[in-house]
Amino acid sequence: MKKTFIILVTLFYLFPGCSTSSTTTEEKEPNKPNYTVDRFAAGLKTNTLPFYLPPNTKLDTIQISDRNKTVVINFSKEFSYIPLRADNVKKFYDDIKQYFGGAYDGYDFTLRSMNIEISELIPNFYRSKSDYDEKRISKSSNKGNVVNNISKPYKPELGLNDRNIVLWHSHGWYYNNELKRWEWQRPRLFQAVEDRIPMSFTLPYLIPMLENAGANVFVPRERDTQINEVVVDNDKNDASYTERGTWTLGKTSGFKLTSSILTVQNPFKLGTYRQTNTSSDETATITYKPQIPEDGYYAVYISYAIESNSASDVEYTVNHSGGKTIFKVDQSKGGGTWMYLGTFKFKKGSNSIEGSVVVSNKSRESGKIVTSDAVRFGGGWGIIEREGQLSGRPKFLEGSRYWLQYAGMPDTLIWDMNKGENDYNDDYQSRGEYANYLKGAPYGPNRERDNQGLNIPIDLSMAFHTDAGITYTDTVVGSLSIYSITDFDRKKNFPDGVSRLANRDLADIVQTEVVNDVRNGFDPIWTRRDLREAQYSESSRPNMPDLLLELLSHQNFLDMRYVYDPQFRFTVSRAIYKGMLKFLSSQYDFEYVVQPLPVDHFSTEFNTAGQILLKWHPVLDKSEPTAAPEKYIVYTRMDDNGFDNGTITSDTFLVVNNIKSDVIYSFKVASINKGGEGFPSEILSVGRTENLNRQAIVVNAFDRVSGPGWVNDSSFSGFVSRLDAGVPDKYDYPLTGMQYDYNLKSDFITNDAPGHGASTAEFENRLIAGNSFDFPYIHGKALLSNGVSFVSSSDESIEDGQITLNNYKMADIICGKEKETLRQKETSTVLYGSRFKLFTEPLKQKINSYTSSGGNLLLTGAFIGTELFNNPRDTNTIKWANDVLKIKYGTPYASITGRVESFSGSKFRRFTDFYFNTTLSEKIYFTENADEITPINGSSTILRYKDNQFSAGTGFKDKYGVIVLGFPFEIITEPTMQNNLMKGIVEYFGL
């Protein structure tokens, strides 16, 4: 007689909380020992098994069938929290089979987690195509961009062209219905707030990367940081709006701007729109000509209505200061809301040639309808009213709930979910439903799946946050990826039947890319946290593949040191973009190519024919072989206008003809390939007078982008911006104010009193300027105004000999706030080295050659003395500074006011006192420290700081000339004073 052993008793005894279904063995032979099962369960509980299982894994059930010779082990969900690949899945099977021993030879083992066999948790992307799980692959091509820039001179055929992505960056400024005030959803910690941190990744990096790959990106928060906004609309009936040809009133409602918008108001239900018929020849246009309040970059949004026979190729022309850019818009999708075209530079005032949007009825499609509603320029300030209060913040800082209302989303997505009584819940619940509404039936909002929505084929969505957590070791909290395999109704499939395991694929691929790239470039022990399945609103509401990424912890000081590093943010954003690309390539079965990295060694010079010769070097991505550049696009700007649409070249150089005198030409270069366009180079400028004999070269040695200075010990820890505020890349997105609580033992009480890391709020209505990588223009403009022609170059091109300083009568080296900058951890600095060293050995050698040949050298920057004299043991560098630059070092804190004066004891030209910027500003970067530069070996003081009469700069002129100023030239606050100072410099050198 055969016996049956009941394992249920053993498992329940060992694991009182475990599942108890299907836990019996069947027909177990008497000589089969069952203690192996008990020993396995006990070892798992006590973490004493002789092989690895994922942390916190528990045992749910073991099912053994002697009749079928099978062993099925069901692990808890925690087993699935690690990335699974073919190799570690095989090892799990091998280790467990070996542990169970010879008594189970010939048995088929099945390992499960979440009731899914673990090999099924391997993403399709990491399998061979023959092993793909077809159930998680879309059956539709799902292609079609709403907005297409037809002025772009390339098409990313193997990128994300025709793909649509919804992406949102965390929380935002919101109205607390209980406290009756507007506030952040998270506390201000370490000079930042989570409501702003993710936007420092998405706005300057991730969204442009996705768009450069060809995607349309939809964001349920305002994406434009421009605080001005101009809306031109047919309902305003003023000179900014003009029609040509036959237009009639639309059939339904359109947008209308009011001074404020109440809780229950939808601005797209308050106005009207216009419509006309298509024509093969243009017979009707509308021109939107805004009154721009000040020079700057403005996002351009359009709106229109969807008709049953809307045209799919409606032409919009944006006239801006860089020229004109033409778009084709598919009006069968995306009506009744704001559709983003792009961001362009506009000049102050009203100008139809350089500041307008024109919509045309010209189309390839006959018998169709063209509609046109309002056009927006800029982001502006929040106008959603809550209980009589406006937010008092620019729109880009507000939460999604308010932008979605301004963008015409249905009440059911915004305030009706919580009856307008809980803005906090409305905000996070609305983000995923926005993605559903964009896509429409049968993927519509979860309360009304049959809502037709806006008919945009959304491919995926992602929520970007920075999770909470603190460590007291030299370890980051790290990256957590969250996904849901069921929706709110516990359905395991999307409306089209595709398995929601696609969510896990996306979450795994993106997290893998992020962790690998961060470990390879910043921190070899960056923590990969869980790949967690959970029912969060932002992971389970979207009815398309979705990911909730908790990148790092805004509560942990080490994590925040990485947040402030722009190079880290670029790397992470590129990793997320690559993860999305790779996921979609497996979803839709296309070959992918990753867009290239930015070029370097960029330089300009005049050739013998007086033309401008541009040269650069490609940069290869060692970790991504597909990212090799194939061609390049060169963008051109004239004077202070915007850039044009670019010129394509297959070479690593370009000759620019027909150069006009007394016009400054500026250039930037980007690599392109079939995957899209890489980020652009620094901007270099060139200007010539009629006579090229007086010619200078401007060298940009200011490459630094970094976070603020910090200290970290057992009693005092945090950012100390007064010592070093760092250098933002273009703008500082996370910053709210200065840290004031440095006590590690200071506990969290409330968001208002968050303890260690608590910070002020004085800067959170604006973005603080950093390194624009456009300063050769400012220096060159001052040179040209004094009759000196100029070219410009990167410092790398000087160091490697691509450009020779000796060909120029004057070399102006921009040092800005360049200084050697350590990494976030000592071990990382040892592995990857420090960054942004100003006076490299190659640069010093080129300066030696230049001065020995009689050249005239200008050095301006905040840390010149600090860099040269900071290490007393480096006697060779100090001697070089004394002998070649003719300078000594005084103090790094020479001026607080930034006021500089000339004086009668100097041979330098006398002029009115001037200021350089010493305060955080949205217009130009500032210096918190200015060096005192003192004379030696024949030099003399030529300028003094007004505060204390310390030496602000020295001059030397004999066999060669050298001027060294202890502050950056480009942050002198008045252009006229820049010109006057440069005039004195040119005269001193005798040019």
Q: Is residue 4 predicted with pLDDT exceeding 80?
A: no
CA max distance for the chain: 116
Pairwise pLDDT comparison (912 vs 852), residue with the higher score: 852
Q: Do 816 and 704 touch, CB atoms closer than 8 A?
A: yes
Question: What are the pLDDT digits (tens) for 532-562?
Answer: 999 999 999 999 999 999 999 999 999 999 9
Place of tokens 């102006």: 812
Q: What is the rounded average pLDDT for all residues in the chain?
A: 93
pLDDT tens digits, 513-527 = 999 999 999 999 999
Residue partners of 658: CB distance under 8 A and separation at least 6: none
Strand duo 192-193 + 887-889: pairing: unpaired
Read off the pLDDT of residues 684-713 as tens digits, 9 standing for 90 and up: 999 999 888 899 999 999 999 999 999 998
**Whole-angstrom distance, CA of residue 396 vs CA of residue 47:** 49
Q: Which two tokens stand for residue 342?
A: 């792009």
pLDDT-derived band at 905, boundaries 50, 70, 90: confident
Q: Which tens digits make up the pLDDT trace of 581-608?
A: 999 999 999 999 999 999 999 999 999 8
Query: How many whole angstroms separate alpha carbon 276 and alpha carbon 371?
Result: 7
- Residues 48, 43: Cα–Cα separation, whole Å: 5
pLDDT, tens digit (0-9, with 9 covering 90-100), for 823-855:
998 888 888 888 999 999 999 999 999 999 999
- What is the strand order of the sheet 460-467 is part of? 216-218, 164-169, 460-467, 546-553, 479-483, 528-533
Long-range Cβ pairs for the range 446-451 (8 Å, 24+): 446/487, 446/488, 446/489, 446/541, 446/543, 447/412, 447/417, 448/412, 449/495, 449/543, 451/410
pLDDT one-digit tens code per residue, 465-484? 998 788 877 789 999 999 99
Give dist(CA 404, CA 431) in Å, integer: 9
Question: Percentage of residues in the chain with pLDDT exceeding 70?
Answer: 96
**Peptide linkage before 33 cis (omega within 30 of 0):** no
CB contact at 8 A, 151 and 325: yes
Q: Note whether 733 and 767 are within 8 A (CB).
A: yes
- pLDDT of 140 strictly over 90: no
Distance CA 895, CA 665 (A): 35
Sorted by sequence, the CB contacts under 8 Å of residue 757 that are 6+ apart come out as: 189, 190, 555, 557, 560, 718, 739, 741
What are the start-end ranges of the H helices in 417-556?
Answer: 423-439, 501-521, 537-540
Q: Is the pLDDT of residue 20 over 80?
A: no
pLDDT at residue 31 above 80?
A: no
- pLDDT band at residue 26 using 50, 70 and 90 as cut-offs: very low
Is it the case that residue 117 has pLDDT exceeding 90?
yes
Using pLDDT thresholds of 50, 70 and 90, give the confidence band for residue 637: very high
The predicted model gives 612-617 an average pLDDT of 98
Predicted model pTM: 0.95
Residue 772 has pLDDT above 60, yes or no: yes
Average pLDDT over residues 664-670: 98
| 664-673 and 731-732 strand pairing | unpaired
With a cut of 80, say whether residue 40 has pLDDT above it.
yes
pLDDT at 578 exceeding the cut of 90: yes
Q: Cβ contacts of residue 488 below 8 Å, gap of 6+? A: 446, 535, 540, 541
Closest CA to 221 of 277, 168, 160: 168
Q: Is the pLDDT of residue 873 over 90?
A: no
Neighbours of 623 (CB within 10 A): 14
Residue 3 is predicted with a pLDDT of 34
Would you say 110 and 119 are in contact if contact means Cβ atoms under 8 Å apart?
no
Contact 614, 654 (CB under 8 A): yes
Q: What is the pLDDT of residue 22?
A: 39
pLDDT at 142: 76
**What is the Cα 250 distance to its own chain's centre?**
39
Q: Which of 776-780, 824-828, 929-933 is predicted least confidently? A: 824-828
Summarised one tens digit per residue, pLDDT across range 233-292 is 999 888 999 999 999 999 999 999 998 888 789 999 999 999 999 999 999 999 999 999
What is the torsional sign of CA 939, 940, 942, 943? positive
Q: Work out the number of other CB atoms within 10 angstroms of the CB of residue 3.
A: 10
Instruction: Flag whether pLDDT at 1 surpasses 90.
Output: no
Name the more confident of 30 and 194: 194
Q: Looking at residue 34, what is its pLDDT? A: 65
Cα–Cα distance between 978 and 269 in angstroms, integer?
Answer: 52
